[in-house]
Amino acid sequence: MTTAQPFVEIRRRLHQIPEPGFAEFKTQRLLLDTIATLPQQRIEVKTWRTGILVRVKGSNPTKRIGYRADMDGLPITEETSYEFRSTHPGYMHACGHDMHMAIGLGVLAHFVQNPIADDLIVIFQPAEEGPGGAKPMLECAEFAEWRPDCMFALHIAPEYPVGTIATRPGILFANTSELFIDLTGTGGHAAFPHKANDMVVAAAHLLTQLQTIVSRNVDPLDSAVITVGKIESGTRQNIIAETARLEGTIRTLSVESMQKIKQRIETVVKGIETGFDCQANIDYGANYRQVYNDERLTREFMNWVRESRIVQLVECREAMTGEDFGYFLAEIPGFMFWLGVDTPYGLHHSKIEPDERAIGVAIDLLTRYIAWKSGN
């Protein structure tokens, strides 16, 4: 078993340097420097933008097994009790990507020292939080050369205790889409509303109508969410606003519902344009495909976990969270699972402090499973 402490220390160093998507320059450098300290006889390394692909050569390969760890941080000001808090103002590893990378390095280090028959491809993927690194990485030449035959990933889960993992066959995470709507009318003096087109009022009507789409246009046996988390409009209390901007997210458990919701949003927005004599623009921003776990491989993994008794296994429900690992799973059989880290604060919270003991749990679980899978 690979000792986890060096990777706990690396996690803390990574935690101090969170960076936005496709700008993970310090993160990439630290990962490459760490990989360079490992014996190099069986390692090949490629870079793609700020991402890294590492091939550990098998002794008699018949397939390639892939493991993916994401790299980027979030635009959140950290409020943890850590001595190793973020040194990048306004950015934080609040989604566990520092843990994911440390686990990936632990898996890599283990198999450099303990050869298996098959090739292992460890993928450090940038820009999971946005604008989405999985899809372009999947399409790049570097990935194509070492394309895995199966692949998997994990995500920390604050609600589960250390020593517990959770997953399910089929859909695990939702289809997601960002939503940005800009409204433009005519500004004016608050005393003369008849000479202006008030975008505060238009935005208020639009917000209300958006909230009827899920309740009246989506099959009640399906699941979907439209959340508008931010509205910006106006400059002063006595000036009629010329513009308004709504920012939100769409989440669905089916591709069909995502398409239908977008169609309804566009119809509703056209009505706002007509009703308030304004212009509107819709931008769906980053779109993430559902994380759909391969039925056979996931059942195989779950049965192996139950028999090995390394960790406790929970067969969980699907979640409305989004993850761009779904793009890999759309083309390559595999799965994702939740890793318990036992913290009262949720993902993307400024005070989240995952239990670092989970790093060792994950490295132990993954190295044993990959070795078993290679011999299977």
Catalytic sites, residue numbers: 70, 129
String of DSSP letters for 267-283: HHHHHHHHHHT-EEEEE
CA proximity to 139, closest of 48, 64, 43, 21: 48
Residue 318 CA to residue 348 CA, distance in Å, equals 19
Sheet holding 150-157, edge to edge: 43-48, 51-56, 119-125, 64-70, 150-157, 334-340, 164-167, 312-315
DSSP summary character for residue 161: P
State the helix-helix crossing angle for 5-15 and 357-375, rounded to 10 degrees: 120
Size (the chain), residues: 376
Cβ 13 vs Cβ 369: under 8 Å: no
Cβ 41 vs Cβ 98: under 8 Å: no
The alpha carbon of residue 9 and the mean position of all alpha carbons in its chain are separated, in whole angstroms, by: 23
CA proximity to 96, closest of 369, 336, 283: 336
Place of tokens 């192996």: 304
